Every structure is written in structure tokens, then in C-alpha cells.
A and B are shown apart, each in its own frame.
Chain A
């Protein structure tokens, strides 16, 4: 039973409908046929009974006189009339006391009617209907008539009817199948169409497909609803696509804007970088300017102060010897007065170059100290080395042979030098060292100019040494 339910549930709709149709129609037909057969059987029996009753009544009535007058001959004749009724195989007329006055047995029938059978008014057994009627005369019971029907004729008629019904059932089943198959199309075709549409839609995501509407029935309504749904989905789809497109356009616009802004920014950054570079350049130039003497191209006083402080501190830590060379152009006021400031500047420039070409070690620094005064820082240099450098510069200046009429020393430009060599200590100040070398320069001026006066303060004996050309 459960299997059957599963099998039916798994059938396609068309077959489900077809089988339902057939089962319903054949069942109803079979039921109708059964009722007809039953009715036929009952009607046949009833007809037979009615006929039998009527016959019994007639015969009873006819035989009243024979019974009343006990006329066996007439009674016998009356029963012989039953030969005309093929279904009656036995009959008898009984008197009040149960003795028969006439008996009829159809040819080919064995046995004899018994009075016992005739006691009941009527009854059935498998093969026969027994009908028995009392015969009365003037409402007085005078005897009984008994008839026996043979039912074999009825049974064979029944069988023929059943065969006919079976044949009709088979015929009707075939017709039902044909008609149902034809009629099913009206239901299954629109449904299949709908299912195909649903398939196509779900498979291809194509919402432009529409279900064909065949009829205004429930399936038609369903198709309409599906179509409506598809229309809505399609509209939403289109809207979605439009929105997406708009969004994409917006994103593209925004991206473009961003790109432009980026480009602007990049340009700006490049410009700023250029500006920074320019700034750096100018800064460097400014810095160079700030530490260089504009006229001679060597370091200026500020730069000298810085380096001296650094070197002094460094030498204080290392304990090395630091030497300073200070020089001053002899009678430069007179030179300016005599040759003019332009030549004076030229003179200063040439001397600056001479100094720069002599002070060449990396750590060395040559600077214009002010006016016609120059100063050199010679780190890690002992007095000897420093004096040698000072002497070289003095000779180089002389070698320039710049004419100087106003000089009381010689006809050419000369310079005086002070050289000091110190071992820096933490408590000694840089300014003191400069003052000391300035003192030595003054001594060289005092002693006749164009000479070098040096002190090696790093030694225990602090004696000034004078050298000159």
C-alpha cells in the first residue's frame, strides 16, 4: 500500500490524471455493472416469483372446483397445462389433508414433489424456487398448489450477462483510455508548458520568457500569475541593471575625478620637490655665503669661529696639538690710499688664493678674519709644521710681487705672521688662543714686519721664536 502510494506520487502529472480518470471511470462502470447484474438477478428472480405466484394463483383458482369436487382427472388436466412453462419442472395439487390429487413432473426431471416442500409459501434453494399457494374456495382453505422452478436457465442467463459486462468493461476501458488521453492534453499541456517556462527561466535566468495562456481556468490564472511575476522580476532586473550601470558611471566619474586629483597632486608634489630642490640649492648657497668671505672666496670670520670651537673641543678631548696662523698685510691702509679700493680688493683676493693653496689638508681651514687680517686653523699640527706653512705663505706673497710704494718694508706687498701651537685643555678657552696669536702677530709687526713670530705653548718653555726672510 505504501509502495503504491510512492509509485503514484512519482508518476508524471499526465499519467496521474490519466490513471485517476481511468480508475474512477472503470470503478464506477464496474460498480454500475455490478448493480445492474445484481438488479438483473433480483429482477429475474422477482419476475420468476411474480410469474410463479400469478401462475400458482391462476392454477389454484382454476383448480378450486376440481379440488372441491376431488376431480383428479380435471386436476391432472389443469397441471398438464404447465408444459407450456419451460422453467417449471414440478407441480402438485394437494388437498386439505395433504394428499395429492394431481402431480406434474416435467419430462427429464427425476423425483416427485413432496408435500413438505409445499408447506412454506415460497423458498429458494441452490437450483430451485419453490412456490406454494393455498387454494381457497369462498375464503375456506380447500387445498394447496405447489410449483417448482428450475433456476438453471436464470443462472446461465446471468453468466451470459456477466460475460457481456466484462466485454463492455474492456471495451469501455480502451475508449476511456483514448478519450482520457485526448482530454488530458487540455490539462497536462498547459501545465507542461508552464513547467517548461519555469525550467527555461530558472536555467537561463531569462525573465523575458512568457508562459502561453491557453484557457481561462485555474491553470490559465496560474500562467497569468507566473507571467505577472516574470514581468515584475524582469522590471526589477532591468532596474537593477540600470542602477548598476548608473553606479558604474558614478564610480567611473569618481575614479576619473580621483585620478585627475591625483595627477594634480603628483604635479604639485613634483613642483614642490623642484621648489624644495631650489630651496636646498639656495639654502646651500646661502650657507656657503654665510660661511664664505665674498671677496676672497675662503671662509669668513663666522665660519672660523665655528670651526675653532669644534676643533678646540676635539683637541681638548684628544690631547693633540692645535696650531693657529694669523697674518696681516703690512701697511695696507697706505696701499688702499695709493692704489684705490679696487686694487686693494684685488690684492686681498690674490693673497686669499695664496693662503688657500697653502692650507690644503682636509681638516685645515683658511679664513679672512677681518679687513686685511687672515687666520688659519691647522689641527693636529705641531709648531714646526705650522711655522713651515706660515713661512711658505709669506714667501708666496712676496713671490706675487705686488708693487706697494707706500710700504716701508719693501717695494712690494708683504705680511706679518703670528703662529701659536697649543695643547688644548678643558679649562682653556678658544678666544684666549686667538688673543695669544693676535699678540704674536703684534710682536711680528713690532719687530719689523714681513716676519713670523711663533710660540709653541705645548712645550714647557714658552719662548717666542722669530723667523724672517
Chain B
């Protein structure tokens, strides 16, 4: 709990800087808008599917009505696609999306998506803050899994795929369905 609170504080502390840093980058990267938008939507769908194949420990929810909180550490167009997830349900829980701008102190994220705009040091910091908490971390950056992230998007041929570090997930107290694992590229030490 303390760790999470610290993380939140960190997040709040860095957010204006991050916003300043990320926004121009994202704007510059939006050269092929249609393809990107399509790829964002696919990623959003993937993230939604992840919530279905991953089981969080019951202690990570306050009660049965507690939503799955998806925190988006990005300001790109993907965040908009992810916003569309809000209102959907997964495993009987609503999905609540929180963008980095409006994460408050009391919020505890179940899934944190690290967008391209989040740089490596920040990622490292947050991942450290998350530590062994049951938070599904999903990222885009090449060294994301090596830094302690659980799922990373990759491209296989021209298709979107993902790689998983099951060991990290297990340490965080998360159960990832074997069905999903069978689709993933497994990285890190084998369980």
C-alpha cells in the first residue's frame, strides 16, 4: 500500500514534466495516422483481452463492485482508443480507464500501460515503485520486460503479438491463463 501511494505521488509529481516531454514526441510520431489508429485499436482490444485472461488476487479489489482500473501512462492516440474501453466489463467488473492526468492519490491501478512516450528512466522508476504488487504492466519499449515489465507488444510479421514474462507475473501474484500464454512469446526464466 505504501509503495503504491509512493508510486502515485511520484506519478503526480512527474506528470506535468512527462506531459511536456511526451506530447511533442507523440505529435511528431503520428505520421501515418490511419495505420496507427488501427494499430491503437488493436492494442486496446489486446489490453481488454488481457484483463480477461489474467486473474488478479481478490485482495486487490475493495469489493465485488470494484472496477478494474486501467491506468494509461501515455498521451498518444492510443489513450483515446483505450478510453473507449471504459464502460466495458471483464470478469463481471467494469473497466475504468484513468489517464495519467487524472490519477488521484487514492487510485490503485490494476493494469498500467506504458506508452511510447514514457521514457526508460521513468518506466524504470514506476516499475520499481510497483515492485511485487499485483499490477499487470504492459509496455511497448524494447527493454520493457527486461526492466521488470510483464507483457510487451511485439510485431510478428505484420501482425501484432506479445511477449510475456510469466515469472514476473507470478511474483506479482497474477495468474495468466495458459490459453493466453500459448499465444505469447515467453521470455525470462521459465516457471
Contact = CB atoms under 8 A, between A and B. Distances in A.
Do these two chains really belong together in a complex?
Answer: yes
Nearest to A78: B182
B40 interface: no
A137 B52 contact: yes
A69 B183 contact: yes
Given A137-B52, A138-B52, A65 B91 contact: no
Interface string A131-145: 000000110000000
Q: Which of B91, B161, B179, B180 is the most central at the interface, judged by chain A CB atoms within 10 Å of its CB?
A: B179
Nearest to B180: A65
B56 interface: no
| Max chain B C-beta neighbours (<10 A), residue from A61, A64, A68 | A68
Contact of A74 (B46, B90, B183): B183
Contacts, number: 29
Given A138-B90, A138-B91, A69 B49 contact: yes
A62 interface: yes
Interface string B170-184: 000000010110110
**What class of interface size applies to chain B in its complex with A?**
10 to 19
Given A71-B183, A137-B52, A65 B90 contact: no
A64 B179 CA distance: 8
B158 to A, nearest CB: 12
Q: Classify the interface of chain A: helix, strand, loop or mixed.
A: helix
Interface in A60-104: 61-62, 64-66, 68-69, 71, 74
A68 B49 contact: yes
Contact of A62 (B52, B53, B91, B179): B179
A32 B90 CA distance: 54
A61 B182 CA distance: 13
Nearest to A137: B52
Contacts of A71: 161, 183
B89 to A, nearest CB: 8
Contacts of B180: 65, 69
Nearest to B90: A138
B92 to A, nearest CB: 8
A66 B183 CA distance: 7
A66 B49 CA distance: 11
Nearest to B89: A138
Contacts of A66: 179, 183
B86 to A, nearest CB: 16
B91 A74 contact: no
Contacts of B49: 65, 68-69, 137
A218 B180 CA distance: 81
Contact of A65 (B89, B161, B183): B183
A74 B161 CA distance: 12
Contacts of A69: 46, 49, 180, 183
B110 to A, nearest CB: 15
Nearest to B162: A69
A171 B9 CA distance: 91
Contacts of A137: 49, 52
A68 B52 contact: yes
A45 B109 CA distance: 52
A129 B180 CA distance: 31
A65 B46 CA distance: 10
A71 B156 CA distance: 11
Contacts of B46: 69
B52 to A, nearest CB: 5
Nearest to B53: A65
A66 B182 CA distance: 9
Interface in A27-81: 61-62, 64-66, 68-69, 71, 74
Contacts of A68: 49, 52-53
Interface in A315-357: none
A62 B182 CA distance: 10
A79 to B, nearest CB: 14
Contacts of B179: 61-62, 64-66
Interface in B83-130: 89-91
A138 B52 CA distance: 7
A140 to B, nearest CB: 8
Contacts of A61: 179
Interface string A279-310: 00000000000000000000000000000000
A147 B53 CA distance: 26
Contacts of A62: 179
Of residues B49, B90, B180, which shows the largest number of chain A Cβ atoms within 10 Å of its Cβ? B49
A68 B180 CA distance: 9
Interface in B146-181: 161, 177, 179-180
A424 B161 CA distance: 200
B76 to A, nearest CB: 22
Contacts of B183: 65-66, 69, 71, 74
Contacts of B177: 65
A221 B102 CA distance: 108
Nearest to B88: A140
Interface in B34-66: 46, 49, 52-53
Interface of A: 61-62, 64-66, 68-69, 71, 74, 137-138
26 contacts: A61-B179, A62-B179, A64-B179, A65-B49, A65-B53, A65-B177, A65-B179, A65-B180, A65-B182, A65-B183, A66-B183, A68-B49, A68-B52, A68-B53, A69-B46, A69-B49, A69-B180, A69-B183, A71-B183, A74-B182, A74-B183, A137-B49, A137-B52, A138-B52, A138-B90, A138-B91
Given A69-B180, A71-B183, 14 more contacts: A64-B179, A65-B53, A65-B177, A65-B179, A65-B180, A65-B182, A65-B183, A66-B179, A66-B183, A68-B49, A68-B53, A69-B49, A74-B182, A138-B52
Interface of B: 46, 49, 52-53, 89-91, 161, 177, 179-180, 182-183
Closest 6 CB pairs of A and B: A65-B179, A68-B49, A138-B52, A71-B183, A65-B180, A65-B183
